[in-house]
């Protein structure tokens, strides 16, 4: 340390203030659908980090590896991913697709305060009472896809190539997402997820990519939530992470 450094030591109070401000900024937790994998959120995670936000992407790939119940493993995976953060660090949950159903259970299971939830082309939990993962009429379709062990094909294998191809703009990203998908048991889709009363008493918002989630975006608007539209296919967060990140941050700060 030279004389000038000794005469003008670092301002510890300023450093502490900066550290405190960083800790007060909500941690963004990107939760992927258990039907796919964390790679579906990696482009947005990279973009948000480039904008100075702290982000984690819990992996839910093992949720269906054992016998039911399955929903507690979603909560455990998110809680475990947050275990090294400060216990009072506020959190914004950002959920995609099927992961939307788990927000009430995740919020109940965390010690960190959840100050915002952003649903991105996502399913909505019931306002009260348990929420089925899929409606009964869709279960019949899935039962026809299960193999004798009760396992389903990977999610992208449920559809024709004409439906799958438009969701991807980059062959490398498509390969990564397709290869990491789990083969979930049919029983995963037969479960219902508990809903804690008053789970939505914090900031909630909805990002819509397009049909068939437009009806869910309309329901979110009926609940009084702000809704933003970023037109695209169901995995649009991998196609335009810049626009999706902007929408997420706008809703998180609304």
What residues contact 126, with CB distance under 8 A and at least 6 apart? 195
- Overall domain count for the chain: 1
pLDDT score of 21 more than 60: no
Look up residue 157 and give its two tokens: 């294998």
Counting residues of the chain whose pLDDT is more than 90, the rounded percentage is: 85
pLDDT value of position 31: 98
Residues in the chain: 254
Please state the rounded mean pLDDT for residues 84-102.
91
Q: Per the domain annotation, does 177 fall within a domain?
A: yes
CA distance 86 to 115: 15
Examine residue 9 and state whether it is found in any structural domain, yes or no.
no
Average pLDDT, the chain: 91
Question: Is residue 7 very low, low, confident or very high in pLDDT (cuts 50, 70, 90)?
Answer: very low
Q: 147 with 122: CB under 8 angstroms?
A: no
| Distance of alpha carbon 106 from alpha carbon 71, whole angstroms | 9
**Three-state DSSP state, 210:** coil
pLDDT band (50, 70, 90) for residue 3:
very low
Q: Is residue 15 part of a domain?
A: no
The whole-number pLDDT of residue 87 equals 74
pLDDT score, position 10: 42
Let me know if residue 83 belongs to a domain.
Answer: yes
Q: What is the CATH number of the domain that holds 120?
A: 3.40.50.1820
Residue 170 CA to residue 92 CA, distance in Å, equals: 28
Residue 14 placed within a domain: no
Residue pair 77/60 in contact by the 8 Å Cβ criterion: yes
- Residue 230 contacts residue 236 (beta carbons within 8 Å): yes
Provide the residue range defining the domain that includes 137. Answer: 27-252
Tokens standing for residue 26: 């909500």
DSSP state of 89: -
- Six-digit token pair at 202? 């914090």
Greater pLDDT, 71 or 20: 71
Q: What distance in Å separates the CA atoms of residue 230 and residue 48, rounded to the nearest whole number?
A: 17
Does residue 138 form part of some domain?
Answer: yes
pLDDT in tens, 118-168: 999 999 999 888 999 998 889 999 999 999 999 999 999 999 999 999 999
d(CA 240, CA 206): 17
- Residue 4: pLDDT band by 50, 70, 90 thresholds? very low
DSSP state of 139: H
* Range list of β-strands (E), 91-130: 91-96, 114-120
- pLDDT tops 80 at residue 9: no
Whether 12 is covered by a domain: the verdict is: no
Residue 90 lies in a domain: yes
């Amino acid at each position: 340390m030279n004389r000038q450094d000794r005469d003008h030591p670092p301002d510890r109070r300023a450093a502490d203030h900066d550290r405190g401000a960083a800790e007060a900024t909500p941690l963004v937790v990107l939760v992927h659908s258990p039907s796919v994998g964390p790679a579906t959120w990696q482009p947005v995670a990279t973009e948000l980090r480039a904008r100075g936000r702290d982000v984690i992407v819990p992996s839910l790939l093992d949720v269906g590896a054992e016998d039911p119940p399955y929903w507690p493993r979603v909560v455990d995976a998110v809680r475990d991913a947050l275990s090294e953060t400060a216990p009072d660090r506020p959190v914004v949950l950002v959920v995609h697709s099927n992961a939307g159903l788990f927000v009430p259970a995740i919020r109940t299971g965390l010690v960190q305060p959840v100050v915002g939830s952003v649903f991105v082309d996502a399913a909505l939990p019931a306002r009260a009472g348990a929420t089925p993962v899929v409606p009964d009429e869709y279960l019949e379709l899935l039962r026809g896809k299960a193999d004798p062990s009760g396992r389903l094909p990977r999610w992208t294998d449920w559809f024709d190539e004409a439906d799958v191809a438009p969701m991807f703009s980059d062959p490398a990203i498509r390969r990564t997402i397709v290869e990491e998908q789990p083969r979930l048991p049919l029983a995963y889709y037969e479960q219902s997820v508990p809903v804690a009363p008053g789970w939505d008493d914090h900031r909630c918002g909805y990002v819509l990519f397009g049909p068939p989630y437009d009806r869910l975006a309309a329901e979110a608007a009926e609940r009084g939530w702000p809704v933003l539209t970023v037109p695209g296919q169901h995995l649009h967060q991998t196609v335009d992470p810049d626009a999706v990140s902007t929408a997420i941050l706008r809703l998180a700060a609304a």
